[in-house]
Structure 1
Amino acid sequence: MMIPRLTNLFTLFLLVLPFTLAHRIDIDPGEKECYFESLQPQDKMTITYEVGGSTSGGHLDIDFYVVDPHGKTIYTQHKKSQGSFSLSASSSGKYTYCFSNEMSSYARKVLSFNVHGQLYIGDEEQIAPVEQEVRDLSAGLQLVKDEQAYLVVRERVHRNTCESTNSRVKWWAIVQTVILFSLCAWNVHYLKSWFEVKRVL
């Protein structure tokens, strides 16, 4: 009787494991990218995102909104560099979420986002203690994965910032060096011409 019990626990563990999708996309100026998830009532979904880069010196921001199966916008954020949104489905159907770069006319945005959730599988009061522990462990593992994904994105943003700063410092040092040598050459030429005039006098 132990083997069927273990089989049931393993099956339950597979059922309660959160679904997770991780993406990295480029969004051109004036464009938007939309995705959808098919959910049933009481299914849960969380979307986290962060703008990890921008071309042409643009701002690290994006517009984000979520539309329910009836076409109603249930959440929106404007010009944010990062964000998170969680929902519990009230009706079955496709829940659409979009990332819009339509407010930008020249900068392409590099976006990283994760989609994860929990499928509803029954009444909590009817779940055995061991099965509830499996659910709790699954939720804890998902929190760890989310934190790791967030740290990876933050590290990428900080690295891009450091590389951009180093590049600007390098070019500014080059410009300063050119200006310094130009001033030295002009001073030498000016002093030389002044002494030549003195000798003629």
Structure 2
Amino acid sequence: MRSFYALILSILSLLVSVSGLHLEVPAEVSPRPMCIRDFVAEEQLVVVSIKSSGRIGDGQQLNFYIVDSLGNEYRRKNDIAGNNRVAFTSHHNAAVDICFTNEKNSKWGSGADLYREIELEIESGAAARDWNAVQAAEKLKPVELELRRVQELTNEIAEELQYLKSREERMRDTNESTNSRVKWFSILVIISLIGLGVWQIQYLRHYFKVKHII
């Protein structure tokens, strides 16, 4: 029975939001940003781990910055190499972009084919917490710690479902309001066209009578 619960806990633990990516960012004299986008909930802890190849002073300057779709900038750092770890708390329910630019030193010339390899890991919510520190502070057993992680993960899923539900309700209300406005606008256009047609008929009848045509 204990092994069954351990299996369930391990499966649920895999559902925690963790994204690992491998990137190659070429060095350019006027580099364009290469961005990775992830959605985060409001007041959610996000930890971004960056492991890059190369070294500072190797003819290229790797920069990164983190912004959300609402224009809030969380972090910006220039000329990085090796391991870097950034943590922040999101301000809103929004998409977050982690962007990299790799600027080539002009003295290396246009023929040098330089690039940086990046291992990027994005952890959010329960996955971003330091569970070793939680276990040490609260003196939890391994099974209790896994249950705690699963509980927080379940709460995050429930909050996300509630957010999606409220968003769907707002979109439905917007669609219904738009449909109602389009309906009344169409009715107004039809009434206006009918009124214009009747006026034209009356005007032509009056014109023909004045000219003694009819």
Rg larger for: 2
